[in-house]
């Protein structure tokens, strides 16, 4: 049914919606969530890309450290699984894996379209 309607899987749609919400927070488009309270820009450092395997699910210890763009954010340390899976921690890790051309989009619609082509 998803193929007939040309819809991406639910997991991918949730990820895209989380990233769009973080983009809006970072751009100051959500007045109730000030970016300065929740997002701390990461200092520029060399890019690390963790090796990805297509046939297995892994948890790489470098995932939290990877920043593939010039607008990366610091990931706060988390000890509990609940906090590791919270919106900001989970989404900032995904955000830091995006390319610079995606995170530097001019508009929300431009960001969404760049995400779909990534």
Specify the pLDDT at position 116: 83
Distance of CA 25 to the CA centre of its chain: 12
Predicted pLDDT of residue 45? 66
21-75 pLDDT, tens per residue? 999 999 999 999 999 999 999 887 666 666 666 766 666 666 677 788 889 999 8
Q: How far apart are CA 83 and CA 64, in angstroms?
A: 14
Q: What is the pLDDT of residue 81?
A: 85
Query: Which tokens sit at 47?
Result: 């890019």
Tell me which of 46-50, 53-57, 90-94, 96-100 is least confident.
46-50
Question: What is the per-residue pLDDT for 46?
Answer: 63
What is the helix (H) or strand (E) element at residue 27, kind and residue range?
Answer: none
**Cβ neighbours around 73 below 10 Å, total:** 21
Residue 47 and residue 44: Cα distance in Å, rounded? Answer: 9
């Amino acid at each position: 049914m998803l193929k007939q309607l040309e819809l991406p899987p639910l997991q991918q749609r949730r990820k895209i919606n989380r990233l769009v919400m973080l983009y809006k927070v970072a751009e100051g488009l959500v007045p109730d969530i000030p970016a300065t309270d929740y997002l701390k820009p990461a200092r520029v450092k060399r890019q690390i890309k963790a090796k990805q395997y297509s046939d297995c699910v892994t948890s790489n210890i470098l995932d939290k450290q990877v920043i593939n763009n010039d607008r990366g954010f610091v990931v706060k340390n988390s000890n509990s699984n609940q906090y590791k899976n919270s919106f900001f921690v989970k989404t900032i890790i995904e955000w830091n894996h995006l390319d610079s051309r995606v995170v530097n989009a001019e508009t929300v619609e431009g960001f969404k379209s760049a995400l779909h082509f990534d």
